[in-house]
């Protein structure tokens, strides 16, 4: 497998945060099997001064500190080869979606830049054609937890990571729908019963029930996904 492993290069001020949760469970097993590789690189390695300064005050004033473009550029250049697309995790970025995750998982490698403080100098984003990506409309204290989420989403798509091929293709986001509700034993829990249809053994009825539940959940919880799903259905019937 060596040489062909999907590689995540993470440029960070906190390399000890990695692999963190990525060393456990599915991602952890796949890491141990060399299905993917992780290089967490300390950005401070690329500082020329003895104080190992990575940031400075923002031009124009304002609170906080900004990470310097020269240091970040050297860190990007110093990463492994191939490094693939360079992504910066930031709430200013394009919201990450499953289609983007699929593209990143299909690349041989990705490089993730994790910011701390106020952010990073805009010029390195331009010069290195860095893609800015957000994992949601909330503020994290740094890019590292977002990088962990993004890597996890990619790794589970790599061949050999998730066991049953079906568990990937059946999933909500792959179909454009939220998942239907799930039930297991006991059949009667504190008087709450499992829906009869799931006990019927009638596969077609179960499939139809699950689709109806997935559609209902998507319609009420995620009108944005519902509109996209509806229009994709209309397009499909036109083909």
* Least gap, CB of 32 to ligand ADE (angstroms): 27
Identify which of residues 134 and 175 has a Cβ nearer to ligand ADE in the complex: 134
**Site residue total, ligand ADE (CB under 6 A):** 11
31 token code pair:
């890491």
Compute the least distance from the CB of residue 62 to ligand ADE, in Å: 18
59 binds ligand ADE (CB under 6 A): no
- Residue 227 C-beta: closest distance to ligand ADE, Å: 24
Scored b (16 or more CB within 10 A) or e, 207-231 reads: eebbeebbbebbbeebeebbeebee
Tell the smallest beta-carbon distance from residue 218 to ligand ADE (Å). Answer: 23
Stretch that binds ligand ADE, among 23-31, 59-67, 134-142, 223-231 (CB under 6 A): 134-142
DSSP assignment of 137-148: SS--SSSHHHHH
Q: How far apart are CA 40 and CA 30, in angstroms?
A: 17
- Residue 232 is encoded by which pair of tokens? 């994709």
* Window 87-116: contact mask with ligand ADE (x via CB under 6 A): --xxx-------------------------
What is residue 14's three-state secondary structure? Answer: coil
Residues 142-171 that bind ligand ADE (CB under 6 A): 143, 146
What is d(CA 171, CA 149) in angstroms, rounded to the nearest whole number? Answer: 18
**Nearest to ligand ADE of 59, 138 (CB atom):** 138
Smallest gap from Cβ 82 to ligand ADE, in A, equals 23
136 contributes a contact to ligand ADE by CB under 6 A? yes
Q: For the chain, where are the alpha helices, taking DSSP H only?
A: 25-32, 69-77, 98-106, 122-127, 144-155, 165-169, 172-175, 203-221, 223-238
Residues 212 and 218: beta-carbon distance below 8 Å: no
Closest to ligand ADE by CB, 125 vs 177, is 125
Q: Is 135 in the site for ligand ADE (CB under 6 A)?
A: yes
Query: Judged by CB under 6 A, which stretch of 42-50, 83-91, 184-192, 195-203 contacts ligand ADE?
Result: 83-91
Stretch binding ligand ADE (CB under 6 A), from 104-112, 131-139, 191-199, 212-220: 131-139
What's the CA gap between 61 and 22, in Å, rounded? Answer: 38
Query: Which residue number, 143 or 176, has a Cβ lying nearer to ligand ADE?
Result: 143
CA 39 to chain centre: 17
β-strand pairing of 192-193 with 131-134: unpaired
Residues that bind ligand ADE in the complex, under the rule CB under 6 A: 89-91, 134-136, 138-140, 143, 146
């Amino acid at each position: 497998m060596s040489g062909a492993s999907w590689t995540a290069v993470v440029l960070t001020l906190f390399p000890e945060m990695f692999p963190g949760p990525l060393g456990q469970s599915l991602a952890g097993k796949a890491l141990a099997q060399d299905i993917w590789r992780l290089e967490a690189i300390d950005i401070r390695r690329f500082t020329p001064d003895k104080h190992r300064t990575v940031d400075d005050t923002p031009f124009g004033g304002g609170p906080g500190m900004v990470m310097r473009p020269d240091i970040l550029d050297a860190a990007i250049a110093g990463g492994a080869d191939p490094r693939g697309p360079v992504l910066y995790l930031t709430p200013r970025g394009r919201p990450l979606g499953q289609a983007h995750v699929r593209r990143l998982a299909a690349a041989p490698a990705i490089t993730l830049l994790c910011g701390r403080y106020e952010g990073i100098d805009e010029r390195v984003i331009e010069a290195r054609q860095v893609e800015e990506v957000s994992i949601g409309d909330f503020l994290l204290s740094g890019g590292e937890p977002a990088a962990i989420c993004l890597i996890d989403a990619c790794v589970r798509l790599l061949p050999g990571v998730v066991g049953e091929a079906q568990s990937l293709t059946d999933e909500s986001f792959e179909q454009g729908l939220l998942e239907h509700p799930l039930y297991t034993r006991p059949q009667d829990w504190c008087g709450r019963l499992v829906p009869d249809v799931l006990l019927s053994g009638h596969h077609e009825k179960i499939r139809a029930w699950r689709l109806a539940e997935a559609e209902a959940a998507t319609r009420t919880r995620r009108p944005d996904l519902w509109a996209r799903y509806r229009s994709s259905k209309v397009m499909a019937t036109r083909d």
